[in-house]
Amino acid sequence: MEAESASRHASRRAAIAASETAPVATPAEPERAPDPSPPATSSPAPSSSPPLRLAIGAHLRNTPDTGAILAGPRVLLDLGLGHDLPLSVRFDVAAAFGGAPHELALGAVDAGVAIFLWARAAPELALRFGPRLFVGHDFLIEGDATRLSGDVQVGVGVRVGAELRLVPGVDLLIEAEVGTHLVDLALETAAGPSGLAGAYGGADLALGVEL
C-alpha cells in the first residue's frame, strides 16, 4: 500500500511539474494585408544657396539717344560662390537688333559679368540684385553696307530679378536692368549720329536649367 501511495504521489508531482513547464499557448496575430499605397516621398528642400545654372532667353533694351528698341537672345551661366553663401556670379553673352532713326538698322553684341546678392523669399521664389559690367561692339546697317564700331564699348548697369521654380531643376528668370555706357560709340551717318550711347534700360525673360 505504501508503495502504491508513493507511486501516486510521484505521478501527481510529475504531472504538476509538466504543467508548470508546458508553454502557454498565445493566440496567433492575424496576418496584415500589404499596404497597396506607395510610401510617401517628400520633395527635397530647396537649397539656400544660388544654384549652378545655364539659361537661354530673350531680352529687350532701349536706346534713349536714338529712341530705338532692340531685341535679341541672351545666354547666361550662374555660379554660386559658396555653400550657404548668398552670392553668385554670372557670365553672359547677348546680341540685340532693331530699327533706328533715318531708316537704319542698329545692332549690338556684348559680353558681361555680374555679381548678385541672392535670397530665397519662398520655396518656389528667389530674388537677386547686383551690378553688371559689359564690353561689346555696336554696328549699323545703312542700305547695303554694315558698319561695325572700331572701339570696344563699355557699360555698367544694375540688375534686379526674380526666379520662379516651374519644376524641380527648371526656373523661369525675370529680370530688369538700368545703366549707362561709359564709352559711347555713336556712329556718324549721312543723316547724323546713330548708335548706342548714354543711358539705357532693358528686360530679360529666360528659362534656366540647374546643373
* pLDDT tens digits for range 87-120: 999 999 999 988 776 677 888 899 999 999 999 9
Lowest mean pLDDT among 89-93, 130-134, 150-154, 194-198: 194-198
Domain count, the chain: 1
6 domain-assigned: no
38 domain-assigned: no
The candidate with the shortest Cα–Cα distance to 105, out of 113, 115, 97, 94, is 97
What is the structure's pLDDT at 189?
62
The candidate with the shortest Cα–Cα distance to 113, out of 173, 159, 48, is 159
What's the whole-model pTM score?
A: 0.72
Mean pLDDT of 175-189: 79
CB 176 within 8 A of CB 200: no
Query: What value does the mean pLDDT of the chain take?
Result: 81
Single-letter residue type at 22: A
The full DSSP string for 114-174 is EEEEEEEEETTEEEEEEEEEEEEEEEEEETTEEEE-SS-EEEEEEEEEEEEEEETTEEEEE
Pairing of strands 170-181, 68-80: unpaired
What is the structure's pLDDT at 198?
80
5 domain-assigned: no
Domain of 187? 53-210
Q: Tell me, what CATH number does 169's domain have? A: 2.40.160.20
pLDDT > 90? residue 166: yes
Burial class (CB within 10 angstroms; exposed 0-12, middle 13-18, buried 19+) of 4? exposed
30 domain-assigned: no
Cell (9 digits) for 2: 505504501
What is the Cα–Cα distance from 209 to 110, expressed in whole angstroms? 23
pLDDT > 60? residue 145: yes
User: Model confidence over 35-85: pLDDT tens digits?
Assistant: 666 555 555 556 678 899 999 999 999 877 677 789 999 999 999 988 778
The candidate with the shortest Cα–Cα distance to 108, out of 56, 156, 73, 78, is 73
